[in-house]
Amino acid sequence: TYTLDDVTGIARALTGWQRTGEASSFDKWQLPLKHHAPDHEQGEKQFLGITIPAGTDGPTTLRITLDHIANHPNVGPFIGRQLIQRLVTSNPSAAFVQRVAATWADNGQGVRGDLFAVVRAILIDAEATDDATLTLDDYGKIREPMMRFAQWARTFNASDPSGAYNIPDLSD
């Protein structure tokens, strides 16, 4: 799908962005990035069949890059599979992924990349709502290890009397 040259080209396109918060502040992870023009690669950038001309400013380069990636034919199936695995089943059928990818490509009103429509398509798909699928051996979602641990800790009201381990309130 992509080559090392594509990865290098995208890396060049994404140069110049930095955090806006103080280095010691937790907020730095929550604030938007800001563009620092002197750190932006000014040369031509080529990746995934597109060329961004030399001298294009950072914000414009970012918009072009993200738009081009979002329009790549592999994005719909990739996002569809990832969301299905998180929301419905760990082992979706190819047909389920394809139906969701089709919704990514066109939400029914000619709009590409409508995430609301994609999630709706996942949750109302026959494969997600059909009672017969619940009896299949390879259907369902396996809980991730951290979620399993949090459930165990909530179930048994885990705590650390010694204070050696910080176990936060897991009630919610």
pLDDT digits (tens, 9 = 90+) for 28-47: 777 888 999 999 999 999 99
Q: Are 42 and 55 in contact (CB under 8 A)?
A: yes
17 vs 51: CA distance, rounded Å = 20
The amino acid at residue 132 is A
Give the integer Cα–Cα distance in Å for 169 and 89: 29
What average pLDDT score do residues 126-154 get? 82
Whole-structure pTM value: 0.70
Q: What is the pLDDT of residue 47?
A: 96
What is the pLDDT, as a whole number, of residue 170?
58
Composition of the chain by helix, strand, coil, percent to 5:
50, 5, 45
pLDDT of residue 21: 67
Lowest mean pLDDT among 79-88, 101-110, 113-122, 129-138: 129-138
Give the pLDDT of residue 172.
Answer: 58
Q: Where is average pLDDT lowest: 15-19, 30-34, 80-84, 114-118?
A: 30-34
Please give the average per-residue pLDDT across 82-97, as a whole number.
93
* Helix, strand, or coil (residue 119): helix
Tell me what the mean pLDDT of segment 52-68 comes to. Answer: 96
Distance of CA 17 to the CA centre of its chain: 19
Sign of CA dihedral 13, 14, 20, 24: negative
Which CA distances in Å does 76 have to 3, 128, 170?
Answer: 19, 18, 35
Q: Are 114 and 107 in contact (CB under 8 A)?
A: yes
- What pLDDT score does 154 carry? 82
**% of the chain at pLDDT higher than 90:** 60
Minimal CA–CA distance to 101: which of 109, 113, 89?
113
